[in-house]
Amino acid sequence: MTNEPRPFFTSLLMSNGRPMIIAVIGGGDPAPRAMQLAEDVGGELARRGAIVVCGGMRGVMEAVCRGAKSAGGTTIGILPGNEPATANDYIDIPIMTGMGYARNAIVVKTGRAAIAIDGAYGTLSEIGHALGDGIPVIGLETWQLPERSDLLMRVVHADSPVEAVDKAIAAAHARDVLEQA
């Protein structure tokens, strides 16, 4: 990664002209397979012109940012503490919250959709915050939640990083259209 400033660019815009931001959530200490999935998701999101937002730390968060940066993308990290130095090396915009795990709600609310990869209880809380607020969640080898007829939202399963990105972008656009109506 270089420290040279680069111009802000994105080709994937929402109807209001702002760039599409997709949240990627997952564990801080995942298996190597989850790390590779996250890096592939980050690269695919960046190639499509989406900005990645995540928790800004290690594990899935670092891998997705590494993938995004390798494809020329922009990354935002919503950090639990007060020190920007705690962000992983691939974060362009560190946002310190001083909120610990309470930042999970901010991570998912910043994205127009979320992709969950692997994960532990923090990821589960992010999934809950997203679904509870009507934010689409695409699951890639993550928590399996039971479907309930009384709940409008559910985790949509994807089998590959490309499928997860396809579904997240489509869900973000659909959400945009519904909110503009």
Contact assessment for residue 66 and residue 37, using Cβ atoms and an 8 Å cutoff = no
What gap in Å lies between CA 64 and CA 62, rounded to an integer?
Answer: 6
Q: Kindly tell me the sign of the dihedral angle through the C-alpha atoms of 82, 59, 51, 131.
A: negative
Three-class SS of residue 102? helix
pTM across the whole model:
0.92
pLDDT in tens, 125-136: 999 999 999 999
Helices (H) and strands (E) counted in the chain, each on its own, are 5, 7
Q: What's the pLDDT band for 8 if we cut at 50, 70, 90?
A: very low
Q: How many residues does the chain have?
A: 181
Q: What's the pLDDT band for 179 if we cut at 50, 70, 90?
A: confident
pLDDT in tens, 66-104: 999 999 999 999 999 999 999 999 999 999 999 999 999
Q: What's the pLDDT band for 178 if we cut at 50, 70, 90?
A: confident
Q: What's the pLDDT band for 2 if we cut at 50, 70, 90?
A: very low
Fold of the CATH domain 21-180:
Rossmann fold (3.40.50)
Q: What's the pLDDT band for 16 if we cut at 50, 70, 90?
A: confident
Higher per-residue confidence, 12 vs 53: 53
User: Hey, which residues does 75 pair with through a beta bridge?
Assistant: 52
Give residue for tokens 């890096």: 39
